[in-house]
Amino acid sequence: MGFPPALPLDTGRASSIVICCIVFPCLAALTVVARFVARRQKAVKYGWDDYLVVLALLALCGQLTILILGTIYGGVGHHNARLSSENIAFQYKVKTLAVLARQHVLNSARYSLQSSSPSAHLSVL
């Protein structure tokens, strides 16, 4: 029983990362626009939940911009065996920034869902 063959080092996932980082914010933006169009057609006032959704969308675009720049300049999506130590250090910086932006996206979306609920009271925790 042998080991499976090693992955070739020339196949990276950088193009897949860039494609996903472009497609998903576009889908998210279409969803947010549809939300505002529906609110306008029903003549419902905009609330905190709407503004928090826009804030979450902006944070998502920021996070994915960080990932795209990390892919282009830092080698995100490529095998570490092919990268220099500077690129690997840059990847850790990109990862840290992406995690911070992800937390902001999730918190904004969570508060948006809480403020649109019937009980409509925000908790800090």
The residues spanned by each domain of the chain are 15-115
* Average pLDDT in the chain: 81
pLDDT of amino acid 8: 60
CA distance 114 to 123: 9
60-103 tens-digit pLDDT: 888 888 888 888 888 788 777 778 888 888 888 888 888 888 88
Count the alpha carbons within 13 Å of 23 in the hemisphere toward its beta carbon. 6
pLDDT of amino acid 41: 92
Q: Do 121 and 57 touch, CB atoms closer than 8 A?
A: no
Q: What ranges in the chain are assigned the alpha helix state H?
A: 14-41, 48-74, 85-115
Global pTM value: 0.71
